[in-house]
Structure 1
């Protein structure tokens, strides 16, 4: 393997994650909670970026700095998912719906879903590998700017998750909509900062030969959050559970990008 050829590393990462996710699929057969795939995605990303740090070619200090950044991001998110959706919790409603839709084919289709997560880990590991292969011994201003953006994004996502968890922990808020903190300015601030986090690696990679590969992170994650696994099912579930209060929230609050909420005029009550 040459220092400029990342393909063997990526292929090895994918094969390892395919086996890892197959094991988690077998575990969810017993737990009956497919949310373990979400926590497993985070742990898998940590394992891969740390392995890249030891196996890739590039400046050693930079390799481990990038690995630490990726690990902090993924471990925090994975731990939050584990506590919020897996340990002692019923399976998330979106997975329950999938089981109902898939019927007798649910186990086979769920296996392929878990394998899709393995492919996603390999895909989202590419920005880290690009940064690690940078041979320059000194850090650039672009890398400093990206690191600051990373700090802002990870802090923002952590705050959004903490504010929502604190709101939900109060029994009287069970059927209410969270408008506290960052949730006053966006219906999904956690998704926004998750997406923003991937832009940090794009900024850090400016000027590198394979810089364009880093764009896969924010582009694919943005598509998933806005169109597939993020906002659409979350909004559908929120409307079903909170009804008109959430519809009001939709009319007055930005879905993704944080912005000041609108004031909805109401007619005078008789």
Structure 2
């Protein structure tokens, strides 16, 4: 199967997946399911691309295991939040503007299907890697994956524990990793994409693997990650979150500053 055919297969799968997620949203009025579908979709894309790739078995196996496990962990984490909480404030704001207009929500969900295909580009590079044996790049990719997915899971647990305490309602989490970064989960999520850059070393499509960290950084920093999250935090936590912004690095962890 050619690279273009692989990409079309991923996109077709994503269209169906996000279509089903949209239909569920129309019934539940909770658009957070779009993030669950995106996570499961990208993880499944890693498995699909690995299964249909032309490269050596080892990098394809690593891609399927690591990419699939990443998507499964993130998807289950988000599913727990979506199924147990009210609609995320970001989507609630959209619902105030759009109401339940089916066409607008369908367009938003299908845009996420396009993003699944976009984030599958690094997987194409790994799946085309002809390197058949273990090397330092593969080991480095696994180590990067373990560090970053472990860090993201830790940040998610710390935030979930903080939010589960009723005494913290209306307050900003500064526990653990959240003391050093306003978005440690996003930081590790971004860093995790470098694992596929390392796994793609030796591939004729290696350059394509760089699209993962580059595109993820752009989306997190300027499009749908940090801007949306921080706008919602300021709406709900006001001055407490503004103080957090003044003292704590946005993405890359570092020691907090004194508030002035």
TM-score category by the smaller chain? over 0.9
Aligned residues of 2:59 and 2:127 also touching (Cα < 8 A): yes
Instruction: Establish whether residue 183 from structure 1 lines up as the match of residue 205 from structure 2.
Output: no
Quick check: 1:67–1:128 contact (8 Å CA) kept in 2? no
Per the alignment, residue 9 of structure 2 pairs with 12
TM-score normalised by the chain length of structure 2: 0.95
Q: 1:95 aligns with which of 91, 97, 100?
A: 91
3-state DSSP class of the match of 1:135? coil
8 Å CA contact retained: 1:252, 1:263 = yes
List alignment gaps of at least 5 residues for structure 1: 266-270
Tell me if the contact between 2:129 and 2:202 (Cα under 8 Å) persists in the aligned partners: no
- The answer on 1:59 being equivalent to 2:65 is no
- Aligned counterpart, 2:32: 35
Query: Does 2:172 match 1:172?
Result: no
Counterpart of 1:233 in structure 2 is 228
Pair 1:253-2:248 in alignment: yes
Matched residues in 2 for 1:187 and 1:58: separation? 39
Aligned to 2:44: 47
Give the 5 Å matches for 1:91-170. 91-103=87-99, 106-170=101-165
| Alignment coverage as a number of residue pairs | 260
1:65-86 deviations in whole A, cap 9, x for unaligned?
Answer: 21110111111111111111x1
TM-score, length basis structure 1: 0.92
**Cα shift readout 1:10-33 (whole Å, capped 9, x = no counterpart):** 112111211221121111110111
Choose 181-190 or 196-205, whichever is displaced more.
196-205
Q: Deviations over 1:203-255 (max 9, x none)?
A: 22234211111111111111111111111111111112112111111111001
Residue in structure 1 matched with residue 208 of structure 2 by the alignment: 213
The SS at the match of 1:87 is helix
| RMSD across aligned positions (CA) | 1.4
Mapped pair 1:223 → 2:218: yes
**Whole-Å Cα distance in 2 between the matches of residues 169 and 32 of structure 1?**
23
5+ residue gaps in structure 2? none
Give 1 or 2 for the bigger CA radius of gyration.
1
Once the two structures are TM-superposed, the CA of residue 103 in structure 1 deviates from its matched residue by 4.4
Matched-pair contact (CA < 8 Å) for 1:21–1:115: yes
